[in-house]
A and B are shown apart, each in its own frame.
Chain A
């Protein structure tokens, strides 16, 4: 796999020209579409409190008398509840908007943390062949062999203090759990890149000038690794957003009552209330789809430019 990635990353070299690249990416239809979608989601996340203030509906506030019908079932879309209510009489629209915040607040830091850790490990492993490399590669293998969800469940159990209260903020824990798995991806990518770069003539030329090891990594190798790694940040982000949603869906991610798309969908499914109030499911579902699609489209646009074949 890593060989493919390296080959992909190197196919782009001819196209590297700092600013024209940005222009070329913006010329890609998929990147533009993605930017618009992601822009909408970011805006929604930022404006969630405004929407809450305008409607007077807090994200966790229950409106049992207005939003639940006499038989206890939630109402559908209406003038006051644009996407209707959930089983507890909360406003689905407001909760969906707040869910965008959680998605981004988990996805972005988790991916960034994974990038930093993985790139560091990959740099060291790639630059020091032999024992260091073998040890770090074994570490990567071990991390990859753990089943994601079961391990996440155990970690959540680990987080329960003596009194049953969580020790770490659950949102922070989800960030840590996701980056604990996602760093391997960046480590393998970076290691592959560095192994190729290490044997390139320009590195040997730098060595024969008398450049120190540190300067070699910082000046010659890192500048060639970072742009590629940054591209894969954009590719990995939607994957991690989905991971958060999956954990929350299974009840081990972001905990109720905090609104997350994953736990909203889980609630809709568990109570089967989406069969009478489809927006209970479709609100967070569509939001989730749009977000992930947007980031995927941006990632694909960037890759189209940097690697025209793929």
Chain B
């Protein structure tokens, strides 16, 4: 008999008289000791259905259907009985460990509370148990870290602390809701290993929610694919990866191309290695000094890189590697503490008062990660796209209008978006508008800082295809900053690998990814989920 089974679950949200349905009749089950993966893009209802089943949604949500845990229907239990099950029999690990930990309570207190919520334990005994738990989830030096607040922990360590809370009372089931999404790849790999190890040691069942089929491929026994609040396909993992039945599953699998693209290694098409560089950053250093601090923080050390005509160069590294700082310096938004950046031999960014001449300003443009923040919320798409022409050219209004319309068509958006505000667009549409603004004046270089990381996986594929096409049509070079090696392998000709502000390796993508010379590059590549499964 299944340990936990959800049957025909429906969740609707009511707000100010309007109701929206998030989950429409979903069923799935997990056996003791097994792992079920729930996969779907944002808005597919995967998290909502689990939160709804365990009574963790806000009161304006209405949950119908049943969620049986060891024979008891959680949706009908009185709150006190449900509370007694949560934490003791079902442990939870949530996505963003920073927002999910109380900022003002120590890690030790928060883990301890997972125990004291269900048992009476003396203070000394509790402390010992928390220390054991911290050790079990692999936090070094637990004696010293137990009284720290969450902000002193790194992202990976916070997630380990969350896992310690979930396993505190050795529950039969752990629900992990996108537990690795906010983390760097190497950290993600270690968290996945930890979850697997704990599961084997305690025989716990696991429900693993993810937007990424690749992440799940290493640990799932069964996979349920969801879209728009419904189950699209449910099958044992081996079967689903080998022969996906539903078109949407195939699309998701295609988008989760990480492992495959790395093997495919595209031939470098355009630029010859000998041609003179279009943009050259040489010996960049960057250090910050916080207000009132003596020691300074070094973000970049001796970074040099070239970008040639019509080339897409990938800049990869984990968070804190300094890749965004390079992007900002190249875009002229920040000044390095040493070194210089030049365009066609002309230095435009260096310490001191060096400026891009106004005529060259439009030659380097930026696309940012956050599709919400990069468009002015109070201006229509038409006004945003007209801005580059209004500021830099003397074109008559009619001509500008024609150019804006052409631009919208170029990024494959319908003309109807012109009169909308950013809030009325989807994330992918916004990113297209941001890209359209960047290429409006046909720049030589576009710095794209994680332009697809905030998007759904299928939208990512479309934006990557758009960038590739724009390069072909306009001849623009791109500096493509990303933490996602799969996307970089798919799109770029050359790649620069950064670690802690230094370039550890650079070269053609196929060379670097097939035959990494630096140990850090190798570690990055080994951490890509799903690689082992399919290579």
List chain B residues, Cβ under 8 A from A227. Answer: 378
Q: Within the complex, what minimum Cβ distance (angstroms) separates A211 from chain B?
A: 5
Considering the chains assembled together, what is the distance between the CA atoms of A208 and B377 in angstroms?
18
C-alpha gap A127/B388 in the complex (Å): 22
**In chain A, what residue has the closest Cβ to B367?**
A205
Residues of B468-527 at the interface with A, using a CB-CB cut-off of 8 Å, are none
The proximity string for B residues 324-366 relative to A, scoring 1 for CB distances below 8 Å and 0 otherwise, is 0000000111000000000000000000000000100110111
Complex interface bits, B371-388 against A, C-beta within 8 A gives 1, otherwise 0: 011111111000000011
Residue A164 lies at the interface, judged by CB distance under 8 Å to chain B? no
Check B423 against A15 for contact (C-beta < 8 Å): yes
| Residues on the A chain within 8 Å of B379, using CB | 219-220, 223
- Is A286 interfacial (CB 8 A cutoff)? no
Contact B366 A211 (CB under 8 A): no
User: A212 to chain B: which residues have CB within 8 Å?
Assistant: 391
Residues of B within 8 A of A257 (CB): none
Q: Does B10 contact A (CB under 8 A)?
A: no
A172 CA to B376 CA, complexed, in Å = 39
B7 within 8 A of A: no
Q: Are B377 and A13 in contact (CB under 8 A)?
A: yes
**Which of B375, B376, B388, B392 has the most CB atoms of chain A within a 10 A radius of its CB?**
B376
Q: Is A202 an interface residue (CB 8 A)?
A: yes
Q: Pick the most buried of A15, A200, A223, A227: most chain B CB atoms within 10 A of its CB.
A: A200
- Given contacts A16-B423, A17-B424, A201-B368, A208 and B378 within 8 Å (CB-CB): no
Q: Give the chain A neighbours of B438 by CB distance below 8 A.
A: 205
Contact B421 A16 (CB under 8 A): yes
Q: What is the CB-to-nearest-CB distance from B91 to chain A, in angstroms, rounded to a whole number?
A: 29
Task: Check A310 for interface membership: any CB of B closer than 8 A.
Answer: no
Q: B361 touching A210 by the CB < 8 A rule?
A: yes
Do A14 and B423 have beta carbons less than 8 Å apart? yes
| Contact residues in A for B423 (Cβ distance below 8 Å) | 13-17
B358 engages A210 (CB within 8 Å): yes
Give the CA-CA distance A208 to B369 in the complex, in Å.
Answer: 16
The one of B16, B373, B391 in contact with A209, judged by C-beta atoms closer than 8 angstroms, is B391
B364 cross-chain contacts in A, Cβ below 8 A = 208
B377 near A210: Cβ-Cβ < 8 Å: no
Interface status of A204 (Cβ within 8 A of chain B): yes
CA distance A13 to B424 in the complex (A): 11
> Which A residues touch B333, using CB under 8 A?
204, 207-208
Q: Is A27 an interface residue (CB 8 A)?
A: yes
Q: In the bound complex, do residue A215 and residue B391 qualify as a contact, i.e. CB atoms below 8 Å apart?
A: yes
Contacts of A16 in B (CB 8 A): 377-378, 421, 423
CA distance A77 to B382 in the complex (A): 63
B135 to chain A, nearest CB (A): 38
Contacts of B221 in A (CB 8 A): none
A224 within 8 Å of B (CB atoms) = yes
A200 with B358: CB separation less than 8 A: no
Interface core residue of A15, A205, A215 (most chain B CB under 10 Å): A205
Is B434 on the interface with A (CB-CB < 8 A)? Answer: yes
Interface residue? A180 (CB, 8 A): no
A39 to chain B, nearest CB (A): 24
Residue of A nearest to B379 (CB): A223
CB proximity to B under 8 Å, residues A252-290 = none
**What 1/0 flags go to A183-227 for Cβ under 8 Å of B?**
000000000000000001110111111111001000110011001
B1-39 vs A, Cβ < 8 Å mask (1 yes, 0 no): 000000000000001100000000000000000000000
> Assuming A14-B423, A210-B362, A210-B392, is B434 touching A205 (CB within 8 A)?
yes
Q: Flag if A205 contacts B16 (CB, 8 Å).
A: no
Q: Does B258 contact A (CB under 8 A)?
A: no
Cβ-defined contact, B388 with A202, below 8 A: no
Write out the residue numbers on chain A whose beta carbons fall within 8 Å of the beta carbon of B158. none
The interface residues of chain A lying within 8 Å CB-to-CB of B421 are 16-18
The residues in B between 411 and 445 inclusive whose CB is less than 8 angstroms from any CB of A are: 421, 423-424, 434, 437-438, 441
- In the complex, chain B residues whose CB is within 8 Å of the CB of A220: 376, 379
B73 interface contact, C-beta 8 A: no
Query: In this complex, what residue of B is CB-closest to A203?
Result: B376
A205: which of B358, B362, B366 is its contact (CB, 8 Å)?
Answer: B366
| Closest chain A residue to B364, Cβ basis | A208
- 17 A-B pairs within 8 Å (CB atoms) are namely A13-B377, A17-B421, A200-B374, A201-B369, A202-B375, A204-B366, A205-B366, A206-B387, A208-B332, A208-B361, A209-B387, A209-B441, A210-B392, A211-B387, A223-B379, A224-B378, A227-B378
Other than the known A202-B374, A219-B387, what 13 A-B pairs have Cβ atoms closer than 8 Å? A13-B423, A16-B378, A27-B16, A200-B374, A201-B369, A207-B333, A208-B331, A208-B361, A209-B365, A209-B392, A210-B358, A220-B379, A224-B376
